[in-house]
Chains A and B, each alone.
Chain A
Amino acid sequence: MSADHLISVKDLKKHYNGGAIKALDGVSIDIDKGEVVVIIGPSGSGKSTLLRSLNLLETPTSGNIYFEGEDITSKNIDINKFRQKMGMVFQHFNLFPHLTILKNMTLAPRKLKHESKEEAEAFARELLKKVALQDRADAYPSQLSGGQKQRIAIVRALAMKPDVLLFDEPTSALDPEMVGEVLDVMKDLAKEGMTMVVVTHEMGFAREVGDRIIFMDEGKIVVEGTPEEIFGQTDNDRLKTFLAKVL
């Protein structure tokens, strides 16, 4: 079933208050391995809800999500197993403040994948080098800047060697001068072939890195296409209005 797509979402709905509020109103998308999918849209359009549904941080009201061919919305499935393969990066970083950077990164690999301390730390240090933070391994999150925290959050997710990374507005809580350093890390990841689903307001990033852009509004996918199609001449009025506001 849909084994050729990494993630396949079928008619996903998320309703609140017994259907009075439709955060997601029948969304279907396919995401392939190695693809960078960027989700854009006005606030309240359901883009974050969609992203958070992909690893079931939000429980959908109806619809199905297939990850590597398996229906993860099925009741008999151990979602924790699948979440290990779906890294997530949050708007507010959500690093664990009581643990050092190294412990933040090795906690899950050690406890969930039973990696040895040496093995987990060696890989963590390798990842830290990649984001140029190898000298902060023993620091605590509160000692880092916002941009550094988000880079750590990305490598913490990578430490589990996930098959896909989900980004929930990763630069929205950052000071403007720190946005670049985080986007650069994400660009490098995209180049390495990491599958990424990114909810963002960074239109420059969407245009440059996105393989496919999804424009959402009122819980639905309104337009879907390549960056050229989205940012070029579009004849969709809602997309035009949105782009006029953000560009």
Chain B
Amino acid sequence: MYLYELSIRDWWEDLKATFILNFIADDRYMLLVKGLGNTFLVTLGATILGILLGVIVALVRSTYDKNITDMQPGFGKGVLITLNKIASAYLTVIRGTPMLVQLMIAYFVIFVSISQHKTIVAIIAFGINSGAYVAEIIRSGIMSIDPGQFEAGRSLGFNYAQTMLYIIIPQALKNVLPALANEFIVLIKETSVSCYIGLHDLTKGGEIIRSRTYTAFMPLLAVAIIYLVIVMFFTKLVGILERRLRNSER
């Protein structure tokens, strides 16, 4: 009995000591806080860049799909074909190679000159990657709108761009908002590979602690829990958003 209590107490004391060693001593928790900040920064920046790129690519691709068969040969058609080829190549390359490889190419090959700004390189790399997935989400949103909506817009006298802007895009974005929010959630987790370029994100924060304290369990568990809590929080938010959207206009 006495021995048993002792062992529990030992285990508890041990746990406390490891906790203090990993997080409290030398203010090591700050490594996680700083990392979390960078994780959010990269995710947010990449999301904005991704949506910008995604909308542009989606517009090119859906404009091509909708119009190319009816277009008269000429300058406009040539431009559209070229733009669509570029957009398709972008989607193929980005979706056909691993994120980690893209990130390393960005860091060690393309942006060597600004390699001290790891956050910026990461934002660009993740933004370009995310843009490819966002583009396909938005394109599916645009293509899912009833062609009658487009005809109604045109029949009132709106040109192609105005019809897109006032009638198609607002409906498309609304339809794909949950999918876009999910892309954001996926991105939060994906940014963890940025510790490969030495960026101090959340995962790297855990790694630094591990390398200093020679204990793996606590820091990695802490990192996992933080990711999980963030993802659960945003998933919940998306759920609320989805319900709101479903209830509106009914």
Residues of A within 8 A of B (CB): 55, 57, 59, 80-81, 83-84, 86-88, 90, 92, 94-98, 107-108, 111-112, 140, 142-143, 156-157, 160
Taking a contact as CB atoms under 8 Å apart, the answer to whether B162 and A111 are in contact is: yes
Report how far A57 CA is from B160 CA in the complex, Å: 12
Residues of A within 8 A of B116 (CB): none
Taking a contact as CB atoms under 8 Å apart, the answer to whether A98 and B157 are in contact is: no
Some 5 contacts from A to B, beta carbons below 8 A apart, are A87-B155, A95-B152, A96-B167, A108-B158, A156-B156
Residues of B within 8 A of A157 (CB): 155-156
Taking a contact as CB atoms under 8 Å apart, the answer to whether B166 and A111 are in contact is: yes
Q: Known contacts A111-B166, A140-B249, A142-B250: does B158 contact A94 (CB below 8 Å)?
A: no
Residues of B within 8 A of A57 (CB): 151, 154-155
Report how far A86 CA is from B151 CA in the complex, Å: 13
- A-B pairs with the 9 shortest C-beta distances? A84-B157, A94-B152, A88-B155, A108-B156, A94-B148, A140-B249, A83-B157, A80-B157, A80-B159
Taking a contact as CB atoms under 8 Å apart, the answer to whether B157 and A81 are in contact is: yes
New contact pairs (10) apart from A112-B157, A142-B250, CB-CB < 8 Å: A80-B154, A81-B157, A83-B156, A84-B157, A96-B152, A96-B171, A98-B171, A108-B158, A157-B156, A160-B157
Q: Does B70 belong to the interface (CB within 8 Å)?
A: yes
Residues of B within 8 A of A108 (CB): 156-158
Residues of B within 8 A of A88 (CB): 151-152, 155
**In the complex, which residue of chain B has the Cβ closest to the Cβ of A109?**
B156
Residues of B within 8 A of A (CB): 70, 146, 148-149, 151-152, 154-159, 162, 166-167, 170-171, 174, 249-250
Interface centre among A83, A92, A96, A98 (most CB of B within 10 A): A98
Taking a contact as CB atoms under 8 Å apart, the answer to whether B158 and A112 are in contact is: yes
Taking a contact as CB atoms under 8 Å apart, the answer to whether B155 and A59 are in contact is: no
Report how far A84 CA is from B157 CA in the complex, Å: 5
Residues of B within 8 A of A84 (CB): 156-157
Residues of B within 8 A of A156 (CB): 156
Report how far A92 CA is from B146 CA in the complex, Å: 10
Taking a contact as CB atoms under 8 Å apart, the answer to whether A94 and B156 are in contact is: no
**In the complex, which residue of chain A has the Cβ closest to the Cβ of B152?**
A94
Taking a contact as CB atoms under 8 Å apart, the answer to whether A55 and B155 are in contact is: yes
Contact of B146 among A94, A112, A142 (CB under 8 A): A94
Q: How far is the CB of A93 from chain B (nearest CB, A)?
A: 8
Q: Known contacts A97-B249, A140-B249, A142-B249: does B156 contact A160 (CB below 8 Å)?
A: yes
Q: How far is the CB of B152 from chain A (nearest CB, A)?
A: 4
Residues of A within 8 A of B158 (CB): 80, 108, 111-112
